[in-house]
Amino acid sequence: MRFDHTTDINGSILISTNPLFAAIFAYLMIHDDRLTVLRCTGLVIAFAGGCLSFVQTTGQSISFGNTGDWIRLASAGLLGYRLIASANVMRQVDPFRLAICQMEVSLPFYLIIGLTSETIQWSAFSYQAVLGLAYQGIIVAGLGFIASLWLISK
């Protein structure tokens, strides 16, 4: 993800909109999910707050987001979709199996994108870096996703 095309605060705000997208996808994908007036009002207010982080003023001009902001917003939308799609699939599949399948499908794409869009600094390659990546990948992401999917299933 291009972190240099957005600010840290915009990125944090925009990626945190994924539950808002999840609410919309739940309405569209789960037949007994309802959008009440109160829920719609809350979603509109929350989305309006997220959109405020897009507005940028420089001198006399006003722009509406830059590349990194749109990438983060799209990522939040995909996270919201994945949450609801996973909840639907978990009615038939074990959460652990689902997390492993998601990793098997996504990791090759991340590898290809990383190798083609990032510069590898082989001089910084060390066992500490490998252990750090393994910790983030296995413990933080792997167990985190499995715990998240297990909680959703309950």
Is 17:91 a contact under the CB 8 Å cutoff?
no
The residues near 22 (Cβ < 8 Å, ≥ 6 apart) are 79, 80, 81, 83, 84
Q: pTM higher than 0.75 for the full model?
A: no
- 144-153 vs 67-89: helix axis angle to the nearest 10? 50
Each residue's pLDDT expressed in tens, for the chain with a length of 154 residues: 445 567 777 778 888 888 899 999 989 988 888 888 998 999 999 888 877 776 765 566 556 667 777 888 888 999 899 888 887 777 777 777 777 787 788 888 888 988 888 887 888 788 898 899 889 888 887 787 777 777 776 6
pLDDT of residue 4: 59
pLDDT of residue 61: 54
pLDDT of residue 1: 44
pLDDT of residue 5: 67
DSSP string, the chain: --GGGS-HHHHHHHHTTHHHHHHHHHHHH-TT----HHHHHHHHHHHHHHHHTTEEEETTEEEE--HHHHHHHHHHHHHHHHHHHHHHHTTTS-HHHHHHHHHHHHHHHHHHHHHHHS---GGG--HHHHHHHHIIIIIIIIIHHHHHHHHHH-
Residue 60's alpha-carbon distances to 56, 57, 63, 67, in angstroms, are: 11, 7, 10, 21
Is 75:15 a contact under the CB 8 Å cutoff?
yes
pLDDT of residue 12: 80
pLDDT of residue 118: 82
pLDDT of residue 81: 92
Residue 131's alpha-carbon distances to 103, 111, 114, 125, in angstroms, are: 19, 17, 18, 11
What's the token pair of residue 56?
Answer: 């940028």
